[in-house]
């Protein structure tokens, strides 16, 4: 079985190499049959990698401990869902998942474009399959997943395996990594079309229109992956945080930032013929940052709870990044004449200007996160001493940047295209500004003095008012014209322009998430050593220790505390935080207990029994105001993304400004 798996990977590598050369030679030599055979090779790569992946998953499910990967990542006591999740729980399996997902995306691209973009498709295939060759090289020779375990003379199996890392045995970890990979891997598709467009000098914005949904879908997967990871950290790690500015967390955020900038600036290219160079740079940066994130996770150059062990993969990724960035930069420079804008910025007080500022601030945030992430590595290489950069640096830099981005989110819809007059700005900004001022005044009246919290919540009110005004104006006009109620008119309005109003829903989700982030300014916590029957208090909450019980099952030994929770004398219920020690790895973990509410989460962690007094339990209690709004905002953001993917009921055409010398003439967008 393992021989078939290894052979499938090797044959997939051969077909991927053929697809690269077949597509390029077919395009240069005008031999369409070679291009066609290269496309069929892509299907073959997908089938072979599906076979290899199925064999590895089957080996995990049946506990075939002859394989070193299975012995290291699974054991008999693990539930089946975590045996399946062990596919991406280790270095070799996760790289195979990467390759398999890339083959899936490549096969879909070939199938959906089999009768269009024929000049561009060979070069698209070249980019896709070159990346596939790189990852299959790692699968076949550097980190092969089908190595047989040799324990001793004639012994090629162990009785039981070490099991999946206990921190990964949580339901979100059965979803988070593959979802994040769908984003990581998916960004290669718009990048491949961008490169194909540059090589063939495609007229118009064909690559933009072709990859619009790809970009949005992969951005959505990346967003889901990041937020699921935040939810995992909040519920599993026991310290109550959802974002710790960990290097691997940062690595997942970097391509999300540049992709967000790309999704905004690409509208400028579609509507105005502007920012073409920006878009090429942004989509290229997004792809290479995805590879960079994969490199950080697997190279071992940074310390992280998310990273795999130290390995030799780093040099391979550095080589791939160096070659890819050099070739892409050279291609963009050679095609600068093709990337000239068809219009220019007419006024600072315009929506075009707000898009430009939005991009600049996003890139500033990206650079700050990248610099802080790599600073320890840079200092170690230059000075021989690793200087770490912690959360205070990232918060100090990114909180102001985030607030300014939130402000721009509200400003954009209020400003007209091309130029805005001061009178129109005064009318447009009146109600949002009033909402901002009233919110600040109310918060001050309730005794809130935290500067960033005041500004953040005030801006949330500002942006919310802007979004509601946009829906109200459009829906009211439709309701009056078609005699509909406001709810139906709002649905009709959204259906007429799903990209615009779906985008507003995404922005509303971001606002709700900012409300949740702002609650961190008011977090409170305490750690107590308590005996059975003891009472203690934090804020308005009272806690009573009722019981400490223990037991075990085939997978782990557990011990939990039963704690009654009351608020202002009213009993709210029992919470049972738990401590576990997994038998296979002998690694302890915490299962926190959380009482989730819209206004505040009560978060309990049982840290075990005291080392100095065996009769005392160590209980950590946290109060997290507003944190639930992060997860609500996430759901709203994803709903808005789905709305954006629905075809609009009405197709709009936008005027572009084509610049010829000192003159400009209006043309109609394609």
* Distance between CA atoms of residues 78 and 505, nearest Å: 40
**Tens digit of each residue's pLDDT (9 = 90 or more) over 247-258:** 889 999 999 999
523: left (phi over 0), alpha (psi -120 to 50) or beta: beta
Banded pLDDT at 304 (limits 50, 70, 90): low
CB atoms within 10 A of CB 538: 15
Which of 47-61, 298-312, 476-490 has the lowest average pLDDT?
Answer: 298-312
Share above pLDDT 90 across residues of the chain, in percent, rounded to a whole number: 70
Q: Answer whether 83's CB lies under 8 Å from 60's CB.
A: yes
pLDDT of 173 above 90: no
Q: What is the mean pLDDT of residues 234-245?
A: 87
| pLDDT value, residue 207 | 87
Q: Give strand pairing partners of 52.
A: none
| pLDDT value, residue 654 | 45
The whole model's pTM is what?
0.93
* Distance between CA atoms of residues 186 and 358, nearest Å: 24
Q: Answer whether 273's CB lies under 8 Å from 267's CB.
A: no
Q: What is the mean pLDDT of the chain?
A: 90
Q: Answer whether 637's CB lies under 8 Å from 520's CB.
A: no
Which tops the pLDDT comparison, 372 or 389?
Answer: 372
Q: What is the mean pLDDT of residues 163-186?
A: 90
Q: What is the mean pLDDT of residues 340-346?
A: 76
286 CB-near residues (< 8 Å, 6+ apart): 187, 190, 191, 255, 258, 259, 262
Q: What is the mean pLDDT of residues 594-613?
A: 92
pLDDT of 56 above 90: yes
* Distance between CA atoms of residues 13 and 132, nearest Å: 8
pLDDT of 273 above 70: yes
Banded pLDDT at 171 (limits 50, 70, 90): confident
* Distance between CA atoms of residues 495 and 502, nearest Å: 9
Of 211, 350, 337, give the one whose Cα is nearest residue 284.
211
Domain boundaries, given as residue ranges, for the chain: 1-164, 174-415, 416-521+628-642, 527-624
* Distance between CA atoms of residues 326 and 330, nearest Å: 6
pLDDT of 570 above 90: yes
DSSP assignment letter at 264: H
387 three-state secondary structure: coil
* Distance between CA atoms of residues 461 and 519, nearest Å: 15
Burial of 660 (0-12, 13-18, 19+ CB in 10 A): exposed
* Distance between CA atoms of residues 558 and 578, nearest Å: 7
Q: Answer whether 561's CB lies under 8 Å from 545's CB.
A: yes
Share above pLDDT 70 across residues of the chain, in percent, rounded to a whole number: 94
Q: What is the mean pLDDT of residues 45-66?
A: 97
Q: What is the mean pLDDT of residues 520-539?
A: 94
pLDDT of 280 above 50: yes
Question: CA-based angle 263:269:273, to the nearest 5?
Answer: 170
pLDDT of 660 above 80: no
| pLDDT value, residue 305 | 56
Which tops the pLDDT comparison, 382 or 122?
Answer: 122
Note the residue count of the chain. Answer: 670
pLDDT of 86 above 90: yes
CB atoms within 10 A of CB 450: 13
152 three-state secondary structure: strand
| pLDDT value, residue 330 | 97
Banded pLDDT at 657 (limits 50, 70, 90): very low
What is the residue-wise DSSP string for 220-244? HHHHHHHHHHHHHHHHHSSS--S--
pLDDT of 9 above 50: yes
**Tens digit of each residue's pLDDT (9 = 90 or more) over 87-115:** 998 999 999 999 999 999 999 999 999 98
DSSP assignment letter at 138: I
**Tens digit of each residue's pLDDT (9 = 90 or more) over 413-422:** 888 767 767 7
The radius of gyration computed from the CA coordinates of the chain, to the nearest angstrom, equals 27
Alpha helical stretches, state H, 273-390: 276-299, 313-334, 351-383
Q: What is the mean pLDDT of residues 386-407?
A: 91
| pLDDT value, residue 308 | 61
Q: Answer whether 598's CB lies under 8 Å from 625's CB.
A: no
| pLDDT value, residue 341 | 81
| pLDDT value, residue 655 | 47
Q: What is the mean pLDDT of residues 60-78?
A: 93
pLDDT of 402 above 80: yes
Q: What is the mean pLDDT of residues 477-500?
A: 93
| pLDDT value, residue 667 | 37
Q: What is the mean pLDDT of residues 246-270?
A: 92
pLDDT of 64 above 90: yes
| pLDDT value, residue 22 | 97
**Tens digit of each residue's pLDDT (9 = 90 or more) over 222-239:** 999 999 999 999 988 878
Banded pLDDT at 388 (limits 50, 70, 90): confident
The Cβ-side half-sphere exposure at 556, using a 13 Å CA radius, reads 23
Which of 83-87, 130-134, 235-239, 367-371 has the lowest average pLDDT?
Answer: 235-239
């Amino acid at each position: 079985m393992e021989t078939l798996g290894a052979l499938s990977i090797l044959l997939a590598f051969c077909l991927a190499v053929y697809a690269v050369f077949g597509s390029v030679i077919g395009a240069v030599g005008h031999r369409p049959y070679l291009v066609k055979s290269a496309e069929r090779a892509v299907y073959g790569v997908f089938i072979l990698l599906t076979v290899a992946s199925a064999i590895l998953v089957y080996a995990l499910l049946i506990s075939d401990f002859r394989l070193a990967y299975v012995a290291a990542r699974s054991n008999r006591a693990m539930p089946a869902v975590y045996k399946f999740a062990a596919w991406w729980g280790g270095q070799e399996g996760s790289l195979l998942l990467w390759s398999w997902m890339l083959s899936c995306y490549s096969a879909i691209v070939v199938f959906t474009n089999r009768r269009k973009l024929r000049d561009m498709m060979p070069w698209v295939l070249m980019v896709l399959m070159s990346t596939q060759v790189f990852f299959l090289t790692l699968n076949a020779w550097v980190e092969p997943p089908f190595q047989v375990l040799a324990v001793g003379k004639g012994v090629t199996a162990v009785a039981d395996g070490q099991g999946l890392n206990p921190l990964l045995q949580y339901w979100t970890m059965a979803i988070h990594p593959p979802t994040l990979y769908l984003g990581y891997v998916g960004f290669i598709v718009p990048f491949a079309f961008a490169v194909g467009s540059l090589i063939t000098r495609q007229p118009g914005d064909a690559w933009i229109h072709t990859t619009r949904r790809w970009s949005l879908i992969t951005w959505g997967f990346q967003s889901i992956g990041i937020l699921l990871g935040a939810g995992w950290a909040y519920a599993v790690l026991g310290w109550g945080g959802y974002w710790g500015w960990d290097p691997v967390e940062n690595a997942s955020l970097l391509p999300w930032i540049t992709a967000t900038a790309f999704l905004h600036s690409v509208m400028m290219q579609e509507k105005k013929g502007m920012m073409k160079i920006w878009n090429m740079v942004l989509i290229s940066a997004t792809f290479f940052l995805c590879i960079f994130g994969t490199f950080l996770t697997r190279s071992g150059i940074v310390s992280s709870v998310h990273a795999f062990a130290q390995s030799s993969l780093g040099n391979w990724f550095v080589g791939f990044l160096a070659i890819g960035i050099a070739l892409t930069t050279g291609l963009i420079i050679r095609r600068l004449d093709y990337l000239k804008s068809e219009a220019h910025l007419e006024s600072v007080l315009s929506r075009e200007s707000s898009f430009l500022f939005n991009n600049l601030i996003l890139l500033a945030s990206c650079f700050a996160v990248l610099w802080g992430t790599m600073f320890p590595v840079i200092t170690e290489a230059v000075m021989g001493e690793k200087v770490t950069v912690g959360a205070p640096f990232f918060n100090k830099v990114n909180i102001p940047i985030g607030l300014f981005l939130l402000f721009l989110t509200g400003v954009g819809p209020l400003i007209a295209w091309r130029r805005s007059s001061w009178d129109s700005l005064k009318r447009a900004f009146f109600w949002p500004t009033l909402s901002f001022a009233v919110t600040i005044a109310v918060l001050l009246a309730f005794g809130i003095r935290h500067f960033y919290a005041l500004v953040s919540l005030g801006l949330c009110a500002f942006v919310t008012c802007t979004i509601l005004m946009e829906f109200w104006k459009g829906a009211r006009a439709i309701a009056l014209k078609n005699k509909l109620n406001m709810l139906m008119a709002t649905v009709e309005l959204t259906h007429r322009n799903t990209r615009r109003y779906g985008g507003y829903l995404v922005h509303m989700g971001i606002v709700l998430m900012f409300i949740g982030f702002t609650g961190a300014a008011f977090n409170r916590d305490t750690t107590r050593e308590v005996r059975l029957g003891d009472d203690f208090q934090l804020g308005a909450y009272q806690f009573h220790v009722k019981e400490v019980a223990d037991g075990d099952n085939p997978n782990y030994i557990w011990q939990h505390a039963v704690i009654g929770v009351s608020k202002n004398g009213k009993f709210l219920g029992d919470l049972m935080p738990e401590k576990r020690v997994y038998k296979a790895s002998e690694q302890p973990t915490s299962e926190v207990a959380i009482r989730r509410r819209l206004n505040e989460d009560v978060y309990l962690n049982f840290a075990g029994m005291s080392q100095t007094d065996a009769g005392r339990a160590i209980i950590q209690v946290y109060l997290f105001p507003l944190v639930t709004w992060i997860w609500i905002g996430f759901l709203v953001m994803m709903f808005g993304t789905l709305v954006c993917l629905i075809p609009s009921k009405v197709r709009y055409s936008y005027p572009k400004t084509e610049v010829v010398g000192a003159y400009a003439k209006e043309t109609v967008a394609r």
